[in-house]
């Protein structure tokens, strides 16, 4: 009797413990990560957007006429980019990225990121726009 009760308990624990919760359509784009009863929600649209944006940014870096980026590449400095924010306007939604590289003092001290360019990528058309700092405007980047 004790053996059969034990087996039933083990089987029911495995069966019900491995079940998947039903999908809730309102949270379809969110993924919950639980640790110590804290829940962090990750917006998967930003993860998906990052993949195609990375490809566009690599293309931009390899073909740009931006002098700062060209000099960094000639000096064998690895260009990196940082997602800054998503900007909603009346006409479009942009992903803003900071492109640059790490620099440090002699001996590798005082490491810091130096910005070479700011770009905006339209989330719908996937067009790249360069930020023109002196004129505070965006211009469409053309290869």
User: For 115-132, what is each residue's pLDDT tens digit?
Assistant: 999 999 999 999 999 999
Helix (H, G, I), strand (E, B) or coil at 41: strand
Q: In whole angstroms, what separates CA 136 from the centre of its chain?
A: 25
pLDDT-derived band at 45 (thresholds 50, 70, 90) equals low
CA 29, CA 46: separation in Å to the nearest integer?
10
Q: Find out whether 44 and 31 touch, Cβ atoms under 8 Å.
A: yes
Residue 88's pLDDT is: 93
Residue 143's pLDDT is: 80
CA 134, CA 94: separation in Å to the nearest integer?
20
DSSP letter for each residue of 76-116? TPPPEEEEEEEEE-SS-EEEEEEEEEEE--GGG-S-EEEEE
Per the prediction, the chain carries an average pLDDT of 76
Render the burial of 12-26: b for 16+ CB within 10 Å, e for the rest.
eeeeeeeeeeeeeee
Residue 48's pLDDT is: 54
pLDDT surpasses 60 at 21: no
Tokens read off for 81: 């980019």
The pTM score is 0.63
pLDDT-derived band at 81 (thresholds 50, 70, 90) equals very high
| Residue 71, strand partner residues | none
């Amino acid at each position: 009797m004790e053996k059969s009760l034990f087996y039933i308990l083990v089987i029911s624990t495995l069966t019900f413990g491995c079940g998947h919760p039903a999908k809730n359509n309102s949270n379809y784009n969110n993924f919950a990560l639980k640790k110590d009863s804290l829940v962090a929600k990750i917006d998967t649209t930003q993860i998906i957007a990052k993949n195609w944006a990375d490809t566009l940014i690599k293309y931009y870096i390899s073909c740009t006429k931006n002098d700062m980026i060209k000099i960094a590449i000639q000096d064998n400095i690895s260009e990196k980019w940082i997602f800054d924010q998503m900007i909603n306007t009346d006409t479009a939604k942009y992903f803003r990225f900071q492109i640059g590289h790490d620099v440090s003092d002699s001996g590798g001290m005082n490491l810091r990121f130096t910005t070479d360019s700011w770009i905006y990528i339209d989330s719908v058309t996937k067009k790249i726009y360069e930020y023109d700092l002196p004129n505070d405007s965006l211009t469409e980047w053309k290869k």
